[in-house]
Amino acid sequence: MEANLYIDKIELAPYLTAEECRAAGAGSCREFVLALKEGKVRPEDCPALSPAKRYALSLALRAKEILPPVPSLELPRPLPLELYEINEPDAASPVLVTGNSEYTLTVLTGLLALTVSPLYLLLADCRGDTADMAMIYRSFTPQRLDQSLTAHKLAQRVSHRRLIIPGVLAPMREELAGYLSGWEIVPGPICAAELPLFLGEKWQPPAGG
């Protein structure tokens, strides 16, 4: 069985303005989103959208194609607690946080291959559980995230204090923020394919993308 990648949880409307929807010929953003999902209009046909937003919308609409399938987790598949530097990040680059599941990394690296934007991806110890299972089993903890932050000296690497966690871990935001003094904890989307929309102009397409 394949793992649930929560494609049905992708939201498009929060990233669209009324002006963009009207410019696409829709009476409302709800109407525009429906037309996009039904294939009646394509993001590239909407000149009011920025190139980054058109690209991000196209990725979200093709989530089943772009996200690599992974099997449903039967046993944890832990990985070393690495800090991955995507596209030569600098001190201002966003920091994505997730657990150290092999399957989670497979999905995320498949998606991150579709941008030229600089990003950090930090793995925290959750015994190899996927993010949703880490929430259920409470294997993703403030202490373990702090250990990864400290081990990789992230506070010295970045000029901001903003950590983007998987949306399924949103109920832990206050607990994480309370333990990690000085760090802002921002829940991202539940489905990885929504991440380009969430990051906005910080997610840039490759040349010709």
Residue ranges covered by each domain of the chain: 9-66, 83-202
Average predicted confidence (pLDDT) for the chain: 95
Centre a 10 Å sphere on the Cβ of residue 63 and count the other Cβ atoms it contains. 18
- State which fold the 83-202 domain adopts: Rossmann fold (3.40.50)
**Cβ pair 148, 100 in contact under 8 A:** no
- The predicted model gives 92-101 an average pLDDT of 98
Pick the CATH number of 9-66 from 1.10.287, 1.10.3660, 1.10.3210, 1.10.15: 1.10.15
Question: Which pTM was predicted?
Answer: 0.95
Encode pLDDT of 117-138 as tens digits: 999 999 999 999 999 999 999 9
Element (H, E) at 90: none
88 φ/ψ sector (left φ>0, alpha ψ -120 to 50, else beta): left
Cα Rg, the chain, nearest whole Å = 18
> Which pLDDT band holds residue 209 (cuts at 50, 70, 90)?
low
Separation between Cα atoms, residue 53 and residue 190, nearest integer Å: 19
Encoded tokens for 28: 């409302």
Pairing of strands 83-86, 119-124: antiparallel
pLDDT digits (tens, 9 = 90+) for 11-52: 999 999 999 999 999 999 999 999 999 999 999 889 899 999
* Per-residue model confidence as pLDDT tens digits over 145-162: 999 999 999 999 999 999
